[in-house]
Homo-oligomer: A and B are copies of this chain.
């Protein structure tokens, strides 16, 4: 069965109504729904509406504070720590980014960390947010389940702790990096299992250190960090910055939110915002980014390589295509969402008429 397509706005409204049905205030539900639909719109489909059933499960289990007092607990001219009061991560991180943008406007640069936050979706959503203000963003987060041992180790003390960066171009799309510090994100392993495909060597090892290729046996092994000990070092540093520094969970304190829907996760994230205007004329910077982007895109390719991509270019393309044609949602996920809708007593998610009716007939 092919995927069906859903308009961005319909997806946003569907998600919002699901949260409202569980007692989230309408404004908060709308903000989370916007960010989740935006994740799907840019092709971050492992972090968009696919997470809705899990979020609802956690809310119903009492694992999320529906009326959090999200507040600043430490503050200086160029930094703050936001206490999320165990609210939805999207709300906590959005507030952190807004504060960082305001502070960067005067101080030039600002760092805002979170504590008692929760899973907040794809890192790039937040690294991108400063772009519209002619600012750039760097984002760090502690992942919500430990899948990575230290290099040489067999105990999963680290998560896939992602790094994201958003850097504005002028006429060119922004350079947006969003990467786990492991070779594969855990969601990619789950996707391989769903499709019945083996994993490439280098994604995971088993407890003997041997390559693990069967994704259905993922529970018996560990993810591998990028660049061997280097990715381990990066995951550790990101965790110290996004977790420990802000007073959030790290190492053995990280809650596996796939298995535990009740415990307070005390998730930590951190955003660094830099105001381009503090460094000179933003237009000049953006013109230089454009030139670099074009130099890279137009540079000599290895045999057999069709195109050189810039980080963020593929999600930029998807954003434009999906805004026009709708967001693809697999039939399996659509079924799952509409079972949830019936359970919650909300209107189902209605896809657009199939683009290729003869295929789905």
Return A99 CB to nearest CB of chain B, in Å: 13
Q: Is the CB of A245 within 8 A of B227?
A: no
A211 adjacent to chain B (CB < 8 Å): no
Instruction: Select one of B78, B151, B234 contacting A177, CB under 8 A.
Output: B234
Q: Is the CB of B78 within 8 A of A109?
A: yes
Chain A contact residue count (CB 8 A cutoff): 79
Q: Given A78-B108, A153-B308, A300-B154, is A167 in contact with B240 using a C-beta cutoff of 8 Å? A: yes
Instruction: Name A's interface SS.
Output: mixed
CA A288 to CA B266, docked complex, whole Å: 15
Return A164 CB to nearest CB of chain B, in Å: 9
On chain B, the residues within 8 Å of A110 by CB distance are 78, 109
A74 adjacent to chain B (CB < 8 Å): yes
Interface members, chain A 295-352 (any B CB < 8 Å): 295-296, 299-305, 307-311
Instruction: Select one of B208, B272, B280 contacting A247, CB under 8 A.
Output: B280
Q: Is the CB of A226 within 8 A of B230?
A: yes
On chain B, the residues within 8 Å of A240 by CB distance are 167, 175, 289, 292
Instruction: Select one of B107, B251, B289 contacting A244, CB under 8 A.
Output: B289
Instruction: Select one of B76, B183, B299, B303 contacting A157, CB under 8 A.
Output: B299
Instruction: Select one of B113, B150, B244 contacting A308, CB under 8 A.
Output: B150
Interface members, chain A 62-89 (any B CB < 8 Å): 74, 76-79, 81
Return A280 CB to nearest CB of chain B, in Å: 6
- The 3 A-B pairs at the shortest CB distance, nearest first, are namely A226-B227, A76-B108, A78-B78
Q: Give the interface of A toward B (CB within 8 A).
A: 74, 76-79, 81, 106-111, 113, 136, 138, 149-155, 157, 163, 165, 167, 175, 177, 179, 183, 205, 207-209, 226-227, 229-234, 236-237, 240-241, 244-247, 250-252, 272, 274-276, 278-280, 285, 288-289, 291-292, 295-296, 299-305, 307-311
